[in-house]
Structure 1
Amino acid sequence: MNDQIQQAAPAANTQPEVHDQTEEHNEKVFTPLVRQFLDYLKLERHFSDYTIRSYGADLVQFGQFLAGMIGHPNDPPPAVPPSPEEIDRRKLACEPLTVREFLTYLYGQNYSKSTTARKLATLRSFYKFLMRRGLISVNPLSTIRTPKQEKRLPKCLDVEQVQKLLDTPGDGDILSARDKAILEVLYSSGIRVSELVELDMSDLDLQEGVLRVRGKGRRDRLAPIGSQAIRALQKYFEYRAAQSGGQPLTGRVFLNKHGGPLSTRSVRRKLDKYLAIAGLDPGISPHTLRHSFATHLLNNGADLRSVQELLGHQSISTTQIYTHLTTARMKEVYDSAHPRAASPTVPLQGGQPQQDQSQPKYYPAKAG
């Protein structure tokens, strides 16, 4: 088994995993097994870079716990951190009790149930990987239950709020036109912000009004966009063409002010800016526009299966969270669909319902 670990180790990984005790997105040096697992996620499972970074951060934290660097208040951390190979040996020897102690540590650090569940999911995937590689014979996660999470409805903007947000950037210069196009495309197509920043010019067919989107797991799909989003893109491209001296536009669709690819974090900062200008909830994120896209489609009669395809969800159960409707919409559907909904309320006289004289009396059938 140790030979297998040594074979998986890149030569450059000579520093212990525990050098960084925070969950900041700094560059981390992973242990051999963690590096092997992350390579598997990237090369075989085609996970996104963001997801791989999250898995890596979770496993670094778990390695720090196993190394005694965090989560053991009664024991001082070791003077010399364990080597990466030693941390991997502890992972291979991990027992359910150790995992439960790690979860106790997370609870003590006030992690939310959703974050704890995500970290637990990372460990499940990691130990399944080790099982498939024959490095362990018993999965220490097999008896660990995922904590029950609160069911929260996704935050959603109403149509008027969306309109107010989309009108905020304007298009008086290239950066304003770019930001307006970003917001229009996010709401018009419902794509993820990570999918938006990876759009290339070759992915756009404005004549047909569709985008080719590379989704999770490298699954491509076509996403339609509306006329207002198309006009916003065309205006932005006019500015870009003027800057390039009429040269054909290539590369990424959305560029930063230096001409490089725009990052997801930059999109979030731009959104925060326009939320403040428009006086809208500062807690709104780019993903809120995706929630709003799905909710407004359903509110206007789209079927769940179509919304699933548009969102790029692999399972329709993921899409069902968007089936929450406003009270007014539910009442409207009820009033139009239920055969008794439009009947007037029967007034009471002396505590008894008034008999409608125009209708024959109703006598219930005898049981028999």
Structure 2
Amino acid sequence: MTHNSLIDRYKRYLLLEKNLSKNTINAYLTDLQKFNAFVEARQLTYQNITYNHLEEFVAELHDLNIVPRSVARIISGVKSFFRFLVLNEYISDDPAELLEIPKIGLKLPVVLSLEEIDAILGAIDVSTAEGTRNYAIIETLYSCGLRISELTHLKFSDLFFDEGFIRIEGKGSKQRLVPISDIAIQKINDYLLYRKQKKVKKGNEDIVFLSSRGSAISRITVYYYIQQYADAVNLKKKISPHVFRHSFATHLLERGANIRVIQEMLGHEKITTTEIYTHIDRNFLRQEIIEHHPRNKKWDDPTPTQR
């Protein structure tokens, strides 16, 4: 069986058995192409690859100055591919079993303060249909902690405003109910007054957020507007739609929300993914210490007893 045939079968395995999203599958296959190029350049087959070959491949990745985080992701994909080959008896032994994924330093996510979020929202001209839509989009991203793909696919049939929830289809087509704030509900309803007047392209009738052409708004368009508003308020942080999700989780944790509840709301399969948000802003931490530490406590009696 050719390498391309095996990769096609691996793709079906990821889709049908692992139930991964198309974006995740494409990322796996893109990384696997690098390994496949290495294999073919040395006229190897998957059946005769050894651990030493894999070490040579990893060394090549480093020689190409690929960043450690990307190297770790590529190795993870290669290990997944060889597990698939063993599972389906294309090979008998897994040469990647002992291949180590390099440890990478913890990269804390960019987080916006409430003041920065309010400043971005304040830069939006809500007297226009476009501005009203964009305000609703950013408010929903932040208030519900959504991924951008979850927002762009949000449907009217997923809105349960009377109950205060929206239904989200996340990674792997897993559904979850997420509470939505009264402010986000109000901003979506404001936008819907304009949306009713828009000509909608066939097949997009149930989509909440539409582009100017009447189809589902794209993630690129959302990114463009967010960057535009950030520039308008001279925000120096590197910003994207995902930053509002990071900010949502961090703000909840800072205010004492249970990490398991946040895990459910974000749709994380593993608690370790959510734990990255347990970092606390230094200013917030210092404020908490100053306020609650007994050595810094402001007593009612301004004149302590003399020793």
Between structure 1 and structure 2, the one with the greater Rg is 1
Equivalent AA in structure 1 for residue 29 of structure 2? G
- CA, structure 1 residues 282+324, in 2 after alignment: closer, same or farther (shift >3 Å)? closer
Match of 1:63 in 2: 36
What's 1:299 paired with?
Answer: 254
Stretch deviating more after TM superposition (259-268 or 318-327)? 259-268
Shift in alpha-carbon separation, 1:154–1:195, aligned structure 2, 3 A: same
Q: Residue in 2 aligned with 1:234? A: 189
Offset at residue 185 of structure 1 (A): 0.6
CA contact (8 A) 2:110 2:237 kept: no
Give yes or no for the alignment of 1:200 onto 2:155: yes
Residue in 2 aligned with 1:137? 92
8 Å CA contact 2:158, 2:168 repeated in 1: yes
For the 8 Å contact 1:188–1:293, the answer to whether it is kept is yes
User: Quick one: distance in 2 between partners of 1:356 and 1:138?
Assistant: 78
Q: Which runs of 4+ in 1 moved over 4 A?
A: 335-341
Distance across 2 between alignment mates of 1:343 and 1:99: 62
Q: How many residues align?
A: 299
Normalised to the residue count of structure 2, the TM-score between the two structures is 0.89
The residue number in structure 1 matching 2:273 is 318
Q: Distance in 1 between matches of 2:233 and 2:46?
A: 50
Inter-partner Cα distance in structure 2 for 1:152 and 1:130: 33
Q: Shift of the alpha carbon at 1:175?
A: 1.9
Question: Alpha carbon RMSD of aligned pairs, Å?
Answer: 2.3
Identify the residue that residue 185 of structure 1 maps to in structure 2.
140
1:167 maps to 2:167:
no
Counterpart Cα distance in 1 of 2:236 and 2:120: 11
- What TM-score comes out, normalization by structure 1 length? 0.75
* Residue matched to 1:43: 16
CA distance in 2, matches of 1:324, 1:285: 20
Q: Is the 8 A contact 1:168 1:278 kept in 2?
A: yes
Change in 2 beyond 3 A, CA 1:281/1:91: farther
Cα offsets for 1:156-185 (capped at 9, x unmatched): 111110111122223222222221111111
Deviation, structure 1 residue 244: 4.9
Query: SS where residue 243 of structure 1 aligns?
Result: coil
TM superposition shift of 1:334:
3.6
Which residue does the alignment assign to 1:24?
none
| In 2, Cα distance between equivalents of 1:170 and 1:301 | 34
1:219 matches 2:174: yes
* Offset at residue 190 of structure 1 (A): 0.4
In structure 1, distance between residues paired with 2:275 and 2:36: 36
CA distance, structure 2, for counterparts of residue 115 and residue 67 of structure 1: 22
Distance in 2 separating the partners of 1:263 and 1:43: 26
State the partner residue of 1:364.
Answer: none
1:327 aligns with 2:264: no
CA contact (8 A) 2:110 2:238 kept: no
In the aligned structure 1, how far is the partner of 2:160 from the partner of 2:125? Answer: 24
Amino acid at match of 2:218: S
What amino acid is aligned across from residue 211 of structure 2 in structure 1?
N
Alignment partner of 2:46: what SS? helix
| Unaligned runs of at least 5 residues, structure 2 | 300-304
Is 1:276–1:282's contact at 8 Å kept on the other side of the alignment? no
Unaligned stretches of 5+ in structure 1? 6-29, 73-86, 345-354, 358-368
- Kept in 2, the 8 Å contact 1:47–1:216? The answer is yes
Q: Which has the higher contact order (CA 8 A, sep 6+)?
A: 2
Change (3 A) 1:215 1:323: same
Question: Hey, what does 2:302 align to over in structure 1?
Answer: none
Alpha-carbon distance between aligned partners in 1 of 2:280 and 2:249, rounded to the nearest angstrom? 11
